[in-house]
Structure 1
Amino acid sequence: MDDPHAEPRVNDYDMPIRFMIGQGRLSIDELAKLPTTEAGLDKELRRRHRADADDPESPLRVGYPLYVWSTAQDLLAGPLTPGTRAALYRLLADQPGLTVAGKVTGPLGRHGVAIVMGTAEGDSEYAPDRAPGFRLVVDPETGRLLANEALDDAAKPIRSVAYEAMGWTDALGERP
């Protein structure tokens, strides 16, 4: 049987693209307005975390470190400004439970640095597949996200999302 993913695919979504911070969705324009300093981004994410935790309809039940981690998983794959990207990496580095695990090879064979976050007691609800940890594979030269993975007990990927190329174009079929 032929692999349906062997050929490049292009999706032309005729709707606004939204990126997640907690339970909120941000447009590309809103992403561009996020703070570019660690202190500013921390203040904004803490405000959003409190609002999500206090939501009477659907209160968020993860701690702030996993909130920052889940935000990073989504936003680092999006069109962040360089300042916000740098602030997000700095904020990630300050979170308990985070480890820079050194050099790894991502799912597409590219070399990067692994940033690993284990789930804390009570935060395991965050992972629908009950993975004990998560890993971002980052290009240390560019800061570009190469992969986002859920890990098993032996720190082996059980789910991988690899980013071959990211960017924006003006026409379908053009490469970023």
Structure 2
Amino acid sequence: MNDERMIRSLLREAPPSADVVAEGRRRLYAAPPRRRRWRVPGLGIAGLGLAAAATAAVVAVTASGPPPASEHAPPKAMTARQVLLAAAEKAAGEPVGRYWHTHVISGQAYHVAKGDYVIDGARHELDQWTARSAEDDDVFRSRFAGAIPQTAADRAAWRRAGSPTVWRVLSNGQYIRQTAAPDRWDLVRMTPAEKNGYEKLVARARKQCAGHPQGCPQQQLTQAQREALADDPAALRQRLLTTSGKGGPSNVLAQAGDFLAQPGSPKLNAAVFRVLADTPGIRNAGSVTDLRGRTAIALTARATDTSGVFDTQLLLQPGTYRVLGTQTVLVAGRGAETAGIKPGTVYTEQLFLEMGWTDSAPR
């Protein structure tokens, strides 16, 4: 029987307050009951009768066994839908700044047979500021970053293998060269005049493709078209589905990560999270640590292709629910591309070191 119900049944007057019941439970479960006189702070003389009744009820409860399991059970983890709706609420309140700044690094796992370890290769780093105003410059910096052993265990195996700085690894059916030496940064600055010229070029291409859709790739949305999707959840969902190829939940998660990495209003970003919240097949895989050592909530969907079974994960920062990136984790490998790579390895990643609106000037 519930102990609070027992307490209430022993009283002819009004039931004891929540404070009285809580104090009775605390004393019951902290130590074996014994005859003693006690006083609950704040009750005063008038409350002593209720306290005594609660004590008697607490003593009686000891004969019925341990407390209900629900009182000591850990809180249930949030579902993926709950996390995504919380993320939508947070995104809706984010401020807008002068620039949309993203610093992203992406890579892929490659197995090195000599030494039996994994490197994170094909690492591309992009650092860009996209101005909200057409009167400000856009700034882009990019480079190929050097390949590195992926985990602490891989670093140890790499050292045992002689700490090589060049590797020959299999990628897309052929062997490619990977090196630990990073490239120089490539800097591009677009002035307002150059941005205007680029927009005219894009507009001309759109017009040409309108008459010959079969010969043109899917067109990038203009900023105005992207923002219009915030008021049309069905169109936003369709955009994420069609752009993601197969349209499964894992592809939608990856596409949503790309979509959120582009400049967007708080309203649009919140709408993306709400669309994900209504997408079946996404689960909360709990807390993970990304390749940068950051703790993240992993919203996950599983998919299979010719290389094996993978979990695609959208990584959110606990508490703020800001996007930390996306990654695919190997569940079961198949074929030469994943040979030697253990389940649980991060196979591909796109991690955001910085992402969001800022008033800081490009640096």
What are the within-5 Å matches in structure 2 for residues 10-25 of structure 1?
11-12=187-188, 14=190, 23-25=218-220
Question: Quick one: distance in 2 between partners of 1:33 and 1:66?
Answer: 25
CA displacement 1:112-147 (0-9 Å, x = unmatched): 210111126xxx48xxx6652211111132232112
Identity of aligned residues (%): 26
Question: Following the alignment from structure 2 to structure 1, what is the Cα–Cα distance between the partners of residues 298 and 281?
Answer: 14
Which of the two has greater helix per residue? 2
Pick from 306, 320, 328 the counterpart of residue 142 of structure 1: 320
Q: Which residue of 1 aligns with 2:235?
A: 44
Instruction: From 209, 221, 241, give the equivalent of 1:26.
Output: 221
Structure 2 unpaired stretches of 5+: 1-164, 166-179, 203-216, 332-342
Which has the higher relative contact order, 1 or 2, with Cα contacts under 8 A spaced 6 or more apart? Answer: 2
TM-score by length of 2: 0.35
CA distance in 1, matches of 2:352, 2:270: 19
Whole-Å separation in 1 of the counterparts to 2:355 and 2:236: 24
Q: Whole-Å Cα distance in 1 between the matches of residues 187 and 319 of structure 2?
A: 29
Name the structure 2 match of 1:81. 265
CA contact (8 A) 2:253 2:312 kept: no
What's the CA shift for 1:31? 2.7
Measured against aligned partners, the alpha-carbon deviations of 1:35-92 in whole angstroms (never above 9, x if no partner) come to 15xxx32x11355478x59xxxxxx851363553243021122222222222212221
Counterpart AA for 1:138: L
**Equivalent of 2:355, from 163, 166, 175?**
166
How high is the TM-score relative to the length of structure 1? 0.65
Kindly provide the amino acid, as one letter, of the partner of residue 12 in structure 1: V
Counterparts of 2:218 and 2:237 in 1: how far apart (Å)? 13
CA RMSD in angstroms, aligned pairs only: 3.6
Q: Which residue does 1:133 correspond to in 2?
A: 311
1:26 aligned counterpart, secondary structure = coil
Match among 119, 128, 131 for residue 303 of structure 2: 119
Which of structures 1 and 2 has the bigger CA Rg? 2
Are the counterparts in 1 of residues 315 and 323 from structure 2 also a CA contact under 8 Å?
Answer: yes
Runs of 5+ consecutive residues of structure 1 not aligned to the other structure: 54-59
